[in-house]
Amino acid sequence: MLKNLSILLLVAVSGATVAYYLNLPLPFFLGPAISVMLLSFSGFTFKIPEIVWTTTRVVIGIYLASKLSPSIVNDVIKWSGSFIMQFFMIFISIFLLSLFYRRFCNFDLPTSISSSTPGGATAVFLISEDLGKIDVRKHFITHLSRMFFIVTILPFSIQYYLGDNSYVYKKEIYFDLSQFVLILVVSLTSVLVLKKIKSPSPYFLGPVIGCGALYVSGFTKIVFPDIGLNICLLIIGSFIGSRFQNYKIKDFFLNLKFSIVGIILIFLITIIFAYLSHLIFDLDFLALIISYCPGGIYEMTGMALAFNYEPDFVLAHHVIRLFTIMFCMPFVMKYAFSKS
């Protein structure tokens, strides 16, 4: 176990180092994602300890909370039109992608719908397990390949959109021990409360909600250094790469015959809805793209944090997307199984 973890750490850090010296966008994220994915395809088996993954979700939640400010209440009201647009985008995406998977890829109805949800692969799988059986292999490899392409292509697109120097920023670090202790206590308490009420993603949403309340109310103003965020990005990248274990590289490429079309479809739908929201509600187009892209809540919010590009806006949209999927998909999947 320790030997495998050491190899995993070496591969992830090496990938991050190479990506950094190649001047890739988000090197601490893309480098480990690609290098660990290749390690997974080689047949090497490993598991990221649960305590590491849990801590990462808590820390990334705290970092995101630190980006919230008292103006967030008014901002959420201002963004409500975009939330509604996102709601329609989710179900149009599911309808069009599931139609494609059924017509051209020979997916059954429940699997085609579960594979078409914009994010929430694990949550939708667990919901499906309570109602019937989907093709688990098709479901996960479709979601994984889509997410992998999105989180590898999008950083380059963001960097190109922003230009070479636009996303580089400086910040003054501020630390206070008593406020830091308060943040830890509130974070852990919020996690326990959300676990008690069986909320999705309690280790992430707990700190976001609890610490976010501290920042919005002005109780704390701590500004954290980037090193913690970079470590979290490295772990998230490694986690994405590790999801390709038990898949052979030939399966990955065979899957591309329908994944590529699905990825193009979801990108087109995302761009169309982002542009409509930009025109109708006068919101930032790039922020809408990051918010609407189904790359996973940890990955997309971490990306917004790393670029320091509208992280509060992106966070709000991905939280809304997560709860929309969690609340609506049981009814959608129940209908799919009844029709199948």
Report the pLDDT value the prediction gives residue 217, as an integer from 0 to 100.
87
Report the pLDDT value the prediction gives residue 171, as an integer from 0 to 100.
58
> Please, which pLDDT band fits residue 166 given cuts at 50, 70 and 90?
very low
Report the pLDDT value the prediction gives residue 67, as an integer from 0 to 100.
85
Over residues 114-126, the pLDDT tens digits come to 999 988 777 787 7
CA distances from 173 to 68, 70, 118, 186 (A): 16, 20, 36, 21
Backbone φ and ψ of 168, nearest 5°: -80, 130
Tell me how long the chain is. 340
- Give percent of the chain above pLDDT 70: 96
- Helix or strand run (H / E) with residue 185: helix 177-196
pLDDT, average across residues 92-112: 91
Residue 176 three-state SS:
coil
Handedness of CA 45, 43, 245, 24 (dihedral sign): positive
- Give percent of the chain above pLDDT 90: 36
How far is the C-alpha of 285 from the C-alpha of 170, rounded, in Å? 24
Asked whether the beta carbons of 172 and 223 are under 8 A apart, the reply is yes
How far is the C-alpha of 7 from the C-alpha of 15, rounded, in Å? 12
Residue 168 has pLDDT above 60, yes or no: no
How far is the C-alpha of 177 from the C-alpha of 181, rounded, in Å? 6
How far is the C-alpha of 271 from the C-alpha of 288, rounded, in Å? 9
Q: Which residue has the higher pLDDT, 37 or 201?
A: 37
Q: Which residue has the higher pLDDT, 134 or 190?
A: 190
Q: Is 120 left (phi over 0), alpha (psi -120 to 50) or beta?
A: left
How far is the C-alpha of 233 from the C-alpha of 242, rounded, in Å? 14
DSSP 198-254: T-SSHHHHHHHHHHHHHHHHTS---B--HHHHHHHHHHHHHHHHHTTTT--HHHHHH
Over residues 230-276, the pLDDT tens digits come to 999 999 989 888 888 877 777 777 777 777 888 889 999 999 999 99
How far is the C-alpha of 32 from the C-alpha of 39, rounded, in Å? 10
Q: Which amino acid is present at 10?
A: L
Over residues 275-305, the pLDDT tens digits come to 999 999 999 999 999 999 987 788 889 889 8
How far is the C-alpha of 108 from the C-alpha of 255, rounded, in Å? 16
**Mean pLDDT for all residues in the chain:** 87
Report the pLDDT value the prediction gives residue 306, as an integer from 0 to 100.
86
Cα dihedral 201/204/209/210 (nearest 10): 120
Residue 194 has pLDDT above 70, yes or no: yes
Q: Which amino acid is present at 321?
A: R
